[in-house]
């Protein structure tokens, strides 16, 4: 009475990888979890993707965690290690497995996209659009008093996938701090002390919090022009082998700010 019973499920490799990326395995006895293909490691990574060199030489690629950890059977599958790189990967895997302890309970799978860990069609739909839309306010970019090319640069800053690197350039670098010191002094603005923000977006918000809309546009413009000037100095040093002092970079930034201000001024005396 159930004609669909026994039919092959309509999924491919992409569907299977998405399922593994969107679920979390809670390891029990390891009987239902694949050693190489499932995300069962403590950090949620998949051994096949984390150590592709080891996976390539593994003689048993579809055994369960339970079978591979029993009597360290996984080591017998990697007897063909022949390069220092693969040996280093082997040591990393060995260290990672030292924290794994199986129990008598069955393995469990939970859904990452709901607080309860239970799958829902709605959460699966939303997951398909994850990171498709910005998580920051775009108005502060497009309304900032600066040129379009600089606003586009600010957009790329906030959309970067390595915020800690960008945050260092924009805030934590001693050279950047010195440049900002000059800009704040010339604009007669009390510098905002921010050492807790974890992203450029949060750092930006800290500077424009609690001020008027006009001041927000002005401050956003100064921030973008400053980041733009610092970024160009970074590229100058890397690609041209030349370097300007912090004062010289700040002067170029201030000139750009003043030129934009004069160009957009309605006062004919400017």
pLDDT mean values, one per 10 residues, the chain (270 residues): 63 73 88 91 85 91 93 90 90 91 92 88 78 67 82 72 65 82 82 69 87 90 92 84 87 91 67
- Please indicate, yes or no, whether residues 208 and 250 belong to a single structural domain of this protein: yes
pLDDT at residue 5 in the model: 64
**Is residue 134 a part of any domain in this protein?**
no
pLDDT at 2 (0 to 100): 61
Is residue 160 located within the same domain as residue 244? yes
Kindly state whether residues 76 and 149 are assigned to the same domain: no
In this predicted structure, what is the pLDDT of residue 7?
64
pLDDT at residue 94, as a whole number? 93
195 and 215 together in one domain? yes
Residue 270 counted as domain residue: no
Does one domain contain both 102 and 202? no
Give the pLDDT score at 102: 92
Is residue 62 within 8 Å of residue 36, measured between CB atoms? yes
167 and 81, same domain (yes or no): no
What pLDDT does 143 receive? Answer: 84
Q: Based on the domain organization, do 76 and 148 belong to the same domain? A: no
146 and 259 share one domain: yes
Nearby residues of 25 by Cβ (< 8 Å), 6 or more positions away: 33, 38, 39, 40, 107, 108, 109
Do 154 and 100 belong to one domain? no
Same domain, 158 and 211: yes
Answer with the one of 127, 155, 175 that is the final residue of a domain. Answer: 127
- Among residues 104, 127, 150, the one where a domain terminates is 127
Residue-number span of the structural domain to which 249 is assigned: 139-263
For the chain, how many structural domains are there in total?
2
The verdict on 43 and 149 lying in the same domain is: no
Instruction: Tell me if 176 sits within 8 A of 170, measured CB to CB.
Output: yes
Q: Are residues 228 and 152 in contact, defined by beta-carbon separation less than 8 angstroms?
A: no
The packing angle between helices 148-159 and 213-235, to 10°, is 80
Six-digit token string for 42 = 């403590």
- Are 239 and 186 in the same domain? yes
């Amino acid at each position: 009475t159930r004609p669909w019973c026994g039919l092959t499920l309509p999924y491919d490799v992409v569907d299977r990888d998405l399922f593994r990326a969107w679920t979390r395995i809670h390891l029990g006895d390891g009987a239902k979890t694949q050693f190489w293909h499932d995300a069962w490691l403590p950090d949620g990574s998949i051994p096949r993707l984390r150590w592709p060199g080891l996976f390539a030489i593994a003689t048993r690629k579809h055994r369960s965690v339970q079978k591979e950890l029993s009597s360290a059977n996984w080591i017998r599958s990697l007897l063909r290690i022949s390069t220092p790189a693969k040996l280093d990967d082997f040591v990393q895997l060995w260290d990672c497995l030292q924290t794994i302890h199986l129990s008598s309970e069955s393995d469990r799978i939970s859904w990452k996209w709901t607080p309860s860990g239970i799958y829902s069609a709605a959460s699966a739909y939303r997951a398909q659009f994850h990171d498709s839309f910005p998580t920051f306010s775009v108005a502060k970019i497009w309304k900032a008093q600066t040129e379009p090319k600089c606003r586009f640069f600010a957009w790329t800053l906030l959309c970067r996938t390595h915020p800690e690197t960008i945050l260092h350039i924009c805030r934590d670098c001693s050279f950047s701090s010195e440049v900002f010191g000059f800009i704040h002094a010339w604009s007669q603005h009390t510098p905002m002390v921010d050492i807790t923000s974890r992203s450029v977006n949060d750092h930006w918000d800290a500077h424009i919090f609690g001020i008027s809309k006009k001041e927000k546009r002005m401050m956003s413009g100064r921030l973008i022009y400053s980041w733009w000037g610092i970024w160009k100095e970074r590229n100058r040093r890397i690609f041209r082998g030349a370097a300007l002092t912090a004062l010289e970079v700040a002067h170029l930034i201030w000139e750009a700010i003043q030129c934009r201000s004069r160009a957009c001024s309605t006062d004919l005396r400017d």
